[in-house]
Amino acid sequence: MSGLRSWAARRLLLGAAQTAAVVLLVFALTEALPGDAAVALAGDQPDPERIAAIRQAMDLDRPAHERLLEWAAGLPRGDFGTSLASGRPVSTYIADGFGPTLLLASLTVALLVPVGVGLGVLAARREGRLADRLVSSVTLGAYAVPEFAFGVLLITVFALRLGWLPPTAVGYGTDLLAHPAALVLPVVVLLTRPVCSLARLVRAGMIDALASPYVAQARRYGVPGARVRYGHALPNAITPAAQQLARTVDWLLCGVIVVEALFVIPGLGTVLMNAVAERDVPVVQGLAVVFGVTTVVLNLGADLVARRFAPRAEMAA
Amino acid sequence: MLKPRFVLGAVIVGLPLALALLGPVLAGEPGPRAASFTLGGGHWLGTDFVGRDVWRQVLLGGRSVVLVALAATALAYLVALPLGLISALTHRGWLEELLMRPLDVLLAVPSLLMILLVAAVLTPGAAGLALLVALVNIPDAARVVRAAAAEVASRPVVEALRLQGESWWRTAVGYVGRSVGRTLAADAGVRLTGVLYLVATAAFLGVGVEPDAADWAVMVDRNRTGLFVQPWAVVVPALLIVALTMGGNLLADAALQKRRRT
């Protein structure tokens, strides 16, 4: 138990270091501009008035470390600064985009686990046969396909040729739940990569577990097949997958940005892309901190859960 | 004996790869611009959003994706290889911590986010995009190198070399470096498909490319507005990207399994 506790403490420490690194990195990458930051950010309209306004809004006359400290101190209070483009607080941008993104992400995660585990178990039970070869090849092939290319093909088939689903979420506003048809394609596209990764891991873990001595022993005792599979083999097969779920979080965040751009969904990804296009640095910084810290926290959670289920598994911390 | 998956991967990846590498040679001179999003009129796949011939754009558009991905993968290893080798072979614990811990911390930042952050303040070109993608791949690549090298470094051969008084350089590069080559070749295949994904996605989001560039990902993005009138300008480049990444992954996996078995 003390081993677990000290491991958890070290893992929490790493999480804290990662959070601090995200904040530092976001600040450094966006503020370490060559030359005069205000001139660089003014971009296409470098009139002196705009440059002066940017310099004032971002306090560029003060030394960088003072600005970093002040900005970082505001973050826990939800004070992310104000937008250069509109003068509104960055937190209102985050609040606006939060709903659709949360809906997309939670729908995806809710479907990801049953679909991924289901496919993996199916393939493992039919190892070497047609169903397994089909699932294995498709999950391997689809695993690295960029969401935008896959999504555009789905739009062409299901929205354009067949006319079953709307091609984008344009005109539905932020209340997407009222228009479930508009959510089908985005969620399918978001699911593809994580499902493939999860199914492959569960399949491999399940095949190992089903070949293990304890499963053979349970069979000898006459424990029913379903109970051996789902009660004994599956929990052991899921552990490596749970650790990998953390990596899926990274993909999900990348995927959300792409899928929102592709289907014109007004979520955090769209807000981020607009801010990047407008060089609205405070908004980009705020969203990057939200995305980055979410990743760190979810990674931490996944590691702690995985460790709880399989304390003997080796994990870096 | 070739595995069916190997053949399948090679066939799927063959067409987009051939188009990407040979296309620019075959493309020829640009014809006069026609109206946007038309079909027919001497244009085999119609015209794109500014009235250029789609087939010509397809021929030209693969090279940037493939070259940027190759350059980024090579760059990532160029940094990861010495980092991983040094931290696996050093006997100073603090040096290993100093080299590897920052990478653990960096692993937590989503890769696309890092690229978008830089794109918000600079306008990276193709070379900049390659650098950025390489940068986000360094932490993971360095960990793979370190793990592979640590396994080799614990072999008796390395101890014998050291006792013989061979130089650090000969042990590290001459023996350990050569022995991890096979593992790294397999990892490079998988990494390349991941890099292809990232490069194409960044280009789709407009990072590292001109807004009217001849690039498959940019074509998908820019021609989306005409999807209902002229789907070919979107579907053809999208299919090529899907084939490139899908075939590449099947191929890398088949190669990986061959390695494991021998």
The C-alpha angle B13, B180, A140, rounded to 5 degrees, equals 30
Mutate: best of B205, B221, B230, B260, partner A, most A CBs <10 A: B205
Distance from the Cα of A240 to chain B's closest Cα (Å) equals 18
Q: What is the dihedral of CA A247, A249, A254, A260, to 10 degrees?
A: 160
Cβ distance A244 to A256 under 8 Å? no
Contact B39, B231 (CB under 8 A): no
pLDDT of residue A102: 86
Return contacts of A78-82, CB within 8 angstroms, 24+ apart.
Answer: A80/A282, A80/A285, A80/A286, A80/A289, A81/A282, A81/A285, A81/A286, A82/A57, A82/A282
Cβ(A306)–Cβ(A242) below 8 Å: yes
Q: Answer yes or no: do B121 and A30 touch at CB < 8 A.
A: yes
pLDDT at B259: 60
Q: What is the largest CA-CA distance in chain B?
A: 77
The ipTM, to two decimals, is: 0.80
pLDDT of residue A3: 67
- B95: closest CA of chain A, how far (Å): 18
* CB-based contact B137:B72 (threshold 8 Å): yes
Closest Cβ opposite residue A17 in set B105, B119, B196: B105
Q: What residue ranges of chain A have pLDDT lower than 70?
A: 1-4, 32-46, 57-61, 171-174, 176, 243-244, 246-247, 306, 308-317
Q: What is the pTM of this model?
A: 0.83
Residue B262 binned pLDDT confidence (cut-offs 50, 70, 90): very low
Pick from B11, B201, B250 the residue to mutate for testing the A interface (most A CBs within 10 Å). Answer: B201
pLDDT tens, position by position, B69-92: 899 999 999 998 888 888 877 777
Tell me phi and psi for residue B32, to 5 degrees: -65, 150
pLDDT digits (tens, 9 = 90+) for B197-222: 888 888 888 887 877 778 888 888 88
Average pLDDT of chain B, as a whole number = 81
Nearest chain B residue (CA) to A32: B121
Dihedral Cα B66, B71, B76, B81, nearest 10 deg: 120
**Does B1 score more than 60 pLDDT?**
no
Residue B58 has pLDDT above 60, yes or no: yes
Q: Do the Cβ atoms of A279 and A43 come closer than 8 Å? A: yes
Q: What per-residue confidence (pLDDT) applies to B75?
A: 92
- Check: CB of residue B187 under 8 Å from CB of residue B144: yes
**pLDDT value for B93:** 74
Q: Answer whether residue B135 shows pLDDT above 70.
A: yes
DSSP output for chain A: -HHHHHHHHHHHHHHHHHHHHHHHHHHHHHH--SS-HHHHHHTT---HHHHHHHHHHTTTTS-HHHHHHHHHHHGGGT---B-TTT--BHHHHHHHHHHHHHHHHHHHHHHHHHHHHHHHHHHHHTTTSHHHHHHHHHHHHHTT--HHHHHHHHIIIIIIIS--S-SS-TTSTT-GGG-HHHHHHHHHHHHHHHHHHHHHHHHHHHHHHHTSHHHHHHHHTT--HHHIIIIIIHHHHHHHHHHHHHHHHHHHHHHHHHHHHHHT--SHHHHHHHHHHHT-HHHHHHHHHHHHHHHHHHHHHHHHHHHHH-TTS----
Q: Which residues of A touch B120 (CB under 8 A)?
A: 30, 275-276, 279-281, 284
Please say whether the beta carbons of B196 and B69 come within 8 A. yes
Q: What's the pLDDT at A39?
A: 65
Say what the pLDDT of residue A41 is: 64
Q: Which residues 240-269 of chain A have a CB within 8 Å of chain B?
A: 250, 253-254, 257-258, 261
